[in-house]
Chain A
Amino acid sequence: QKEVEQDPGPLSVPEGAIVSLNCTYSNSAFQYFMWYRQYSRKGPELLMYTYSSGNKEDGRFTAQVDKSSKYISLFIRDSQPSDSATYLCAMRISNFGNEKLTFGTGTRLTIIP
């Protein structure tokens, strides 16, 4: 079993819809949670990060972490065609000594105009 599970999609939604992307994880030692966005034929770029359980908002994006359920989500409001990309969740165990990120496989999202 992978440490981080993510539905690969593909997911297609109409422009303006709310999008929900999710990851589950099995390692309770993960403390830091990130979402990366990867456009076609590009490298991933950090979109959002969070540490504690609860919600963090940044414009149209909301990251949600539920450590008790080992479940994280990314919500996109008022989705735009420019949001079409692959979204990867990433997690990290510790700030000291272990610099590794563990990534989900990514969910391919298409926003239909």
Chain B
Amino acid sequence: DAGVIQSPRHEVTEMGQEVTLRCKPISGHDYLFWYRQTMMRGLELLIYFNNNVPIDDSGMPEDRFSAKMPNASFSTLKIQPSEPRDSAVYFCASNKRGGVYLEQFFGPGTRLTVL
């Protein structure tokens, strides 16, 4: 299996622009998670889906952030408009239901820089 795939790997944009991050989870996994990682705040859960349905979006920082999962093999995280404080590494992770310890498999991340 190719693992969790994220694109783009790097994104540099200007404040006010729309940013779309993409994720393809591991085939057969039921859960998909979006995280944001910064030095100051560490790894923060933004939202997670179960069978394509958003379950908990309490970590989404504000209305500028939105996430969708139109099918089992694709999800997007959109920031509109982007701000410099959104600069971070965004990770997508997936796992299969039934794992007691919930091993999450992470993608390589998208490094976002908002100027």
Interface size, chain B (Cβ < 8 Å): 24
Is the CB of B19 closer than 8 A to any CB of chain A? no
Question: Would B48 and A95 count as touching, CB distance under 8 A?
Answer: no
Is the CB of B43 closer than 8 A to any CB of chain A? yes
Question: Would B41 and A99 count as touching, CB distance under 8 A?
Answer: no
Question: Would A99 and B55 count as touching, CB distance under 8 A?
Answer: yes
Instruction: Sample 25 A-B pairs with CB under 8 A, ordered by A number.
Output: A6-B42, A32-B101, A34-B103, A41-B108, A42-B108, A42-B109, A43-B93, A43-B108, A44-B91, A44-B104, A46-B103, A49-B103, A51-B100, A92-B102, A95-B100, A99-B31, A99-B50, A99-B95, A99-B102, A100-B48, A101-B102, A102-B45, A104-B42, A105-B42, A106-B43
**Using a CB–CB distance below 8 Å, which chain B residues touch chain A?**
4, 31, 39, 41-45, 48, 50, 55-56, 91, 93, 95, 100-104, 106-109
**Using a CB–CB distance below 8 Å, which chain A residues touch chain B?**
6, 8, 32, 34, 41-46, 49, 51, 88, 92, 95, 99-106
